[in-house]
Amino acid sequence: MSKTQFPDSALEAVADTPDGATVLVGGFGLAGMPAELIDALIEQGARDLTIVCNNAGNGETGLAALLQAGRVRKVICSFPRQSDSYVFDELYRAGKVELELVPQGNLAERMRAAGAGIGAFYCPTGVGTPLAEGKETRVIGGRSYLLEYPLHGDVALISAFRADQLGNLVYRKTARNFGPVMATAARTVIAQVTEVVPTGSLDPEAVVTPRIYVDRVVRVAPRDSGGTR
């Protein structure tokens, strides 16, 4: 792992994303959604992507725009259906995008396992439900568990609040959500932040994602409505 890079633009940061990549995308709804990096990925042009994200896009921006551009082969998520997820809904109904539905905690834990070098794990979530179909079941200590496999990404796109000049990250409020776990689970981790601060000015006790996980950091403008982006 080399030193964290600080490319000048989001487009430069995602430039080497290959066709067919599995891309982990942070965010829960819009909180922690790396909007600028997703826009850059749309511009960059990679196709046939597998997107791992809690949701499957809102309105016609961000992930929804990526889907609308026909660049996504498969979505792995926990909660695709939302009041404004009509882009995904239409593509799914038309058979133009594949869906792997994963309980939210399993989505997080499968990425945690990927980042932590775990080969597989037994989890009680989903036992006896349709999402258990095809999975190995094992009774441990009188309780039933399903065998779950790690979920690796080629690229992770996440949104944090602040980075120091070495690439250590801190987040803001519930925008943290999937960021820290996705940062451990992909080969190339790209974070957008609203502030880059001098090395030494982040409290080492409060660093959430240590720089070892972070390959590239791009600074973006805070959004008008406040918050991280």
Partner 1 sequence: MSGPLTMDELAAVIAHDIPAGSFVNLGIGHPTKVADHLPPENGVVLHTENGMLGMGPTATGAAVDPDLTNAGKVPVTELPGAAYFDHASSFAMMRGGHLDFCVLGAYQVSAGGDLANWHTGAAGDIPAVGGAMDLAIGAKSVFVMMSLFTRGGTPKLVPRCTYPLTGVGCVSRVYTDLAVFDITPDGPRIDRTFGVSAAELAQRLVFPGLAG
What distance in Å separates the CA atoms of residue 180 and residue 172, rounded to the nearest whole number? 12
- In the complex with partner 1, the residue whose CB is nearer, 13 or 30, is 30
Residue choice 32, 34, 62, 150 for contact with partner 1 (CB under 8 A): 32
Query: Hey, which residues between 171 and 190 contact partner 1 (CB under 8 A)?
Result: 171-181
Evaluate whether 66 touches 42 at the Cβ level (below 8 Å): yes
Residue 106 C-beta: closest distance to partner 1, Å: 7
Query: Hey, which residues between 192 and 211 contact partner 1 (CB under 8 A)?
Result: 208
Query: Hey, which residues between 99 and 158 contact partner 1 (CB under 8 A)?
Result: 99, 101-109, 111-112, 123-131
Question: Which whole-number Å values give the CA distances from 189 to 3, 45, 74, 105, 127, in the listed order?
Answer: 12, 18, 20, 21, 33
Binding mask 55-94 for partner 1 (x = CB under 8 A): -----------------------xxxxx-----xx--xx-
Cβ-proximal residues to 106 (8 Å cutoff; 6+ apart), any chain: 123, 125, 126, 148
CB burial of residue 44 (10 Å; 0-12, 13-18, 19+): middle
- In the complex with partner 1, the residue whose CB is nearer, 46 or 162, is 162
- In the complex with partner 1, the residue whose CB is nearer, 17 or 109, is 109
Bridging pattern class, strands 186-193 and 153-159: parallel
Strands (E), 37-110: 49-52, 72-77, 98-101
φ, ψ of residue 162 to 5 degrees: the values are -130, 140
Residue 18 C-beta: closest distance to partner 1, Å: 27
- In the complex with partner 1, the residue whose CB is nearer, 167 or 179, is 179
CB burial of residue 215 (10 Å; 0-12, 13-18, 19+): buried
- In the complex with partner 1, the residue whose CB is nearer, 99 or 197, is 99
Binding site for partner 1 (CB under 8 A): 28-32, 54, 78-82, 88-89, 92-93, 99, 101-109, 111-112, 123-131, 171-181, 208, 223, 225-229
